[in-house]
């Protein structure tokens, strides 16, 4: 959503809205000979929703994984809230906990209940008591509309429900931002909206989000900015309106003609 000074100062998120939260500076990444990220520069401000869009293989997931330090980079710097991503160790675990991640393929812990899925991280990494984590976890499951599934196993839930649990699990860590990498791509069509609605709510609440998605409806409703990637480069960076109605590059035009 549009950063706004008039938003109520109820939390740090709103007070500090608009400052850079994620800064990606001159990063490069190779897989062997393949140059997957080519001198990427990007800034995501607090409270901002950035949609990353682009053809398969353009480096979108690699960029997300680099920001969460699930992937190393060859050179360049990534900072989150002013702190450079550490190489490893305890510091890394903490920094990673600040970045919620939701993947295309739900990735819930299959042998844990839904409630355990949302309480494990807060107990282990944030040091919450089991009782506190469960109270908070249930509230989050309620918020994404799956509280009545809390004691089931993930496999007993629909894809849309599992993905909403994955979002609740990410939120349970009280992350500074959330990365969602094609969160609706593996879902049956009738379940896409229930997940997008949760994402739109989050955006409206001021969560900083980086979302890889081709869902134009979401981009139009929630995104402040669209980043279009192709062949490991950021080719365009503009408003959703501008991107979908008036793409500048031939690569974006070609891409849009295929998906729209």
Binding site for ligand ADP (CB under 6 A): 31, 34, 36, 54, 56-62
CB-nearer residue toward Mg ion: 61 or 208: 61
Other Cβ atoms closer than 10 A to 159: 18
Nearer to ligand ADP, 60 or 164 (CB): 60
The burial of 151, by beta-carbon neighbours within 10 Å (0-12 exposed, 13-18 middle, 19 or more buried), is given as exposed
Residue numbers 35-64 binding Mg ion by CB under 5 A: 60-61
Q: Whose Cβ is closer to ligand ADP: residue 58's or residue 161's?
A: 58
Which residue, 60 or 96, is less far from ligand ADP as judged by CB?
60
Distance CA 148, CA 132 (A): 19
- The smaller minimum CB distance to ligand ADP, of residues 133 and 209, is found at 209
From ligand ADP, Mg ion, none, which one binds at residue 59 (CB under 5 to 8 Å depending on kind)? Answer: ligand ADP
- Tell the smallest beta-carbon distance from residue 37 to ligand ADP (Å): 8
Torsion of CA 249, 47, 69, 168, to 10 degrees: -120
Q: Which is nearer to ligand ADP, 70 or 139 (CB)?
A: 70
**Min dist. Cβ of residue 71 to ligand ADP (A):** 8
Contacted entry of ligand ADP, Mg ion, none for residue 31, CB cut-off 5 to 8 Å set by kind: ligand ADP
Cα-trace Rg, the chain: 18
CB of 131 to ligand ADP, least distance (A): 40
Number of chain positions touching Mg ion (CB under 5 A): 2
Measured from the CB atom, is 62 or 161 closer to ligand ADP? 62
User: How far apart, in whole angstroms, are the C-alpha atoms of residue 178 and residue 122?
Assistant: 16
Among positions 117-156, residues that touch Mg ion (CB under 5 A) are none
Binding partner at 17 among Mg ion, ligand ADP, none, C-beta below 5 to 8 Å by kind: none
Query: C-beta of 62: minimal distance to Mg ion in Å?
Result: 8
In the bound complex, what is the minimum distance in angstroms from residue 29's beta carbon to ligand ADP? Answer: 8
Residue 36 interacting entry, from Mg ion, ligand ADP, none, C-beta within 5 to 8 Å by type: ligand ADP
CB of 66 to Mg ion, least distance (A): 13
Q: Is residue 159 within 8 Å of 187, Cβ to Cβ?
A: yes
The 3 state secondary structure assigned to 159-184 is HHHHHHHHHHHHHHCCCCEEEEECCC
Distance CA 154, CA 114 (A): 6
**Rounded to 10 degrees, what is the CA torsion of 183, 186, 189, 192?**
-20
CB 57 → ligand ADP: shortest distance, Å?
Answer: 4
User: Sign of dihedral through CA atoms 238, 49, 66, 154?
Assistant: negative
| Whole-number Cα distances in Å, 68 to 86, 101, 259 | 11, 8, 28
- Give the pairing type, strands 75-80 and 83-84: antiparallel
Q: Which residues bind Mg ion (CB under 5 A)?
A: 60-61
């Amino acid at each position: 959503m549009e950063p706004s000074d008039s938003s109520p100062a109820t939390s740090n998120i709103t007070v500090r809205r608009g400052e850079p939260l994620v800064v990606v500076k001159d990063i490069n990444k190779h897989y062997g000979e393949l140059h997957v990220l080519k001198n990427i520069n990007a800034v995501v401000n607090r409270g901002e929703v950035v949609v990353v869009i682009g053809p398969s293989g353009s480096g979108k997931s690699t960029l997300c994984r680099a920001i969460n330090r699930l992937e190393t980079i060859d050179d360049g710097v990534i900072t989150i809230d002013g702190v450079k991503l550490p190489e490893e160790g305890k510091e890394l675990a903490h920094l990673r906990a600040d970045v919620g991640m939701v993947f295309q393929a739900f990735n819930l812990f299959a042998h844990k209940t839904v409630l355990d899925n949302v309480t494990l991280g807060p107990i282990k990494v944030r040091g919450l008591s089991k009782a506190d984590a469960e109270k908070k976890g249930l509230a989050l499951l309620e918020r994404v509309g799956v509280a009545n599934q809390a004691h089931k196993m993930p496999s007993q839930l629909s894809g849309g429900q599992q993905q909403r649990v994955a979002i609740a699990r990410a939120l349970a860590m009280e992350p500074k931002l959330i990365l969602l990498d094609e969160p609706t791509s593996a879902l049956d069509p009738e379940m896409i909206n229930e997940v997008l609605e949760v994402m739109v709510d989050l955006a409206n609440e001021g969560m900083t989000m980086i979302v890889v998605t081709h869902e134009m409806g979401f981009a139009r409703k929630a995104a402040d900015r669209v980043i279009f990637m192709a062949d490991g480069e950021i080719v365009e960076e503009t408003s959703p309106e501008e991107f979908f109605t008036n793409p500048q590059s031939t690569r974006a035009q070609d891409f849009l003609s295929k998906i729209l």
